[in-house]
Structure 1
């Protein structure tokens, strides 16, 4: 009996040495989860059960349990290196066979799929191209779309500015009223405006706008004070009038300096985009867009533009990728725009200990683990994602080295049990 008891102890100690050695070997493996041996004692049972004074029959390895506690997160310079802060696993697919991992080494393959260092594709949710929203619940391979971003024609321009109330009406404008027939004085005064002569206007400001092909055009607004609270605004695009017959837009301010007329936004119609040589660009003609001056004022202060915006942009090449803590894959383009290209998925299990280890720092679903719960990072019990970082092994080397000492002593002690039993047996055999 003692031989078997000692032998079971040696086997248990050897198992612990193997497990501890494996932990130490993977101390530097990204996403690795350490294991521990869990032992149980053994008692021989008779038909009627064990007596109260039964002697144990040794030890058995009850389980090799994996410890899924969080590993340290180390930061890298690769935006596709990913770490999970909290619960969950990355989902990868190898030709449809799903596996689950905490190792966040990811990059792209020749076709733009996001893959780990074994070529398995990272799973996530795609984007509805029509609405730009995430197709939650529809799992797919995450892919980086490297094609250039489409341009967008300007449909709205907004400016907030202050026109100096102390400005004087340009001399040419005033002189036209003096010399012209009263019936045509206004028209004559308007015609004195010359964008190449700064003495014919009081202030100006410019902004780039874009046609349907993404070509940039400079839109300039020139302001001419016509009386105490009245101004003409001449709008030029690429040096050409943007309004029919070069008719200015009349602006009126009330006695407190706030913009009163016209109603906002104003519509600029009939723009035909031209290139720098005055030739059509090939973009859409007869374009209309809104021009909004809401919030503009006429105070006794220098002319100033406090805000300007427009919603068009040119085409842009892919400049970089970012993944936020909710797993959204965001592409950055050289035109300053961003676009969500997908969202990675995380999986959790009712019983993580029931997962089947596959090697390569991955696990597979089993009947003991239960079905995976798939969702976006940060939802439910799922953790969040840290881009540009990797989760290190959760192995504590100091603890493992102590475990080695304990396992070694257990091995030696159980060997002593066998040695002692052998000596006793020899004594009995030598009896005459």
Structure 2
């Protein structure tokens, strides 16, 4: 009867309104994916000996499917926010229950674990490697120091420098007449304490005027102490010919640090022109470092960056993908759960095959287009009115028949 057909139409239009309203309500929800109401007609067939007749019986809601198209990225500057630019889902766990999400608004809880607003932990691969998932946990302690073991010197000693008087014995840092040039740099002991090393260069008199003595001094306990000697000899074209190795050795440091042993590499030193210049003094140690920031690379690696210029991997964010994402079951909180229709998750990391890149400092916005949803809202309203008119018309016809005398 037309009444039943109209009722199915009202139910369908009402379901369409519910789906559209849900989309509009979550237009600002991070990681939300819009839904689409899908309908099927109800078709009843009857046969008799003379005619074959087919009568439509209305419509029914076949499915509400989510559309996993990419949402826009909102750059927040919050280092813990993450967005997936491409395919994949973040893996969340709490109390043994695993869920999946595209919402990347994360923060660190009091234990240092990266969690979402619901307290679910973000899962990833541990920094030591392996394929077993574990919660990503931030370490807020200081970075350990590294003792200096090598110094690389890049400089030019002037070919016009006056040789030091041959009667002078050794280099005296307190007497400028005993050396031509000096330069200093900071090195670090095993406890991360900074110590200043000064290098003094003394040109030899003829016929050894292509040779230089090099002495190293360090401030140890307030006293400038000799910690190593070496020598340089140059070719006629200004390039380095031979080196008497300089090894800096400092013992019995007052802070109790291990004895220092530093090799100095003069391999790039030259003797050109009339200008002394120091292009670079590089050493491989560093002091203790305080945590400055936590950053996320495009492959999902979470780095802790420290004030001493070092960084440390805290793990790698895991991503999951599915053969049929539309088969996932929405469980609220912008999360989904595995179903037989979705298939089992395939795990990986950002940038790998079938997985998008991870953008740190941003989150994915809802993929709801408000303009489209408002048009659908008007269409659903018109459909509801039209189906209500079908029932009203059927009622008028029925009343006419009843009034026949």
TM-score band by shorter chain is over 0.9
Match of 1:157 among 151, 155, 168: 151
Question: For the Cα contact (< 8 Å) 2:35–2:65, is it kept in 1?
Answer: yes
Match of 2:286 among 303, 306, 313: 313
How far, CA to CA, are the matches of 1:293 and 1:169 in structure 2? 20
Equivalent residue, structure 2, for 1:89 = 89
Match of 2:331 among 358, 364, 368: 358
How far, CA to CA, are the matches of 2:47 and 2:225 in structure 1? 106
How far, CA to CA, are the matches of 2:130 and 2:182 in structure 1? 49
| 1:415 is the counterpart of 2:393 | no
The 5 Å alignment of 1:1-400 reads: 1-45=1-45, 53-128=53-128, 135-170=129-164, 173-174=165-166, 176=167, 189-191=168-170, 193-226=171-204, 227-238=208-219, 239-243=224-228, 248-262=229-243, 266=245, 268=247, 270-272=249-251, 274=253, 280-285=254-259, 287-400=260-373
Question: For the Cα contact (< 8 Å) 1:267–1:288, is it kept in 2?
Answer: no
Question: For the Cα contact (< 8 Å) 1:162–1:301, is it kept in 2?
Answer: no
Q: Per the alignment, in what secondary structure is the counterpart of residue 126 of structure 2?
A: strand
How far, CA to CA, are the matches of 2:78 and 2:291 in structure 1? 16
Q: Per the alignment, in what secondary structure is the counterpart of residue 358 of structure 2?
A: strand
How far, CA to CA, are the matches of 1:97 and 1:127 in structure 2? 23
Structure 1 residues 47 and 88, CA gap change in structure 2 (3 angstroms): farther
How far, CA to CA, are the matches of 2:145 and 2:199 in structure 1? 24
Q: Per the alignment, in what secondary structure is the counterpart of residue 20 of structure 1?
A: helix
How far, CA to CA, are the matches of 2:399 and 2:135 in structure 1? 69
Q: Per the alignment, in what secondary structure is the counterpart of residue 345 of structure 1?
A: strand
Structure 1 residues 380 and 273, CA gap change in structure 2 (3 angstroms): farther
1:46: how far off?
A: 5.6
How far, CA to CA, are the matches of 2:246 and 2:355 in structure 1? 49
User: Which 5+ residue runs of structure 1 have no aligned equivalent?
Assistant: 129-134, 177-188, 275-279
How far, CA to CA, are the matches of 1:86 and 1:401 in structure 2? 27
User: Which 5+ residue runs of structure 2 have no aligned equivalent?
Assistant: none
Alignment: residue pair count: 396
How far, CA to CA, are the matches of 2:376 and 2:199 in structure 1? 78
- After superposition, give the CA deviation of every residue in 1:111-168 in whole Å (9 maximum; x if it has no partner): 100111111111111112xxxxxx1422110000111111111111111111001101
Q: Per the alignment, in what secondary structure is the counterpart of residue 30 of structure 2?
A: coil
1:215: how far off?
A: 1.1
Question: For the Cα contact (< 8 Å) 1:159–1:309, is it kept in 2?
Answer: yes
Q: Give TM-score, length-normalised by structure 1.
A: 0.88
The runs of at least 4 aligned residues of structure 1 exceeding 6 Å deviation read: none
How far, CA to CA, are the matches of 2:252 and 2:345 in structure 1? 55
1:270: how far off?
A: 3.8
1:222: how far off?
A: 0.7
Q: Give TM-score, length-normalised by structure 2.
A: 0.94
Question: For the Cα contact (< 8 Å) 1:137–1:375, is it kept in 2?
Answer: no
How far, CA to CA, are the matches of 1:315 and 1:394 in structure 2? 45
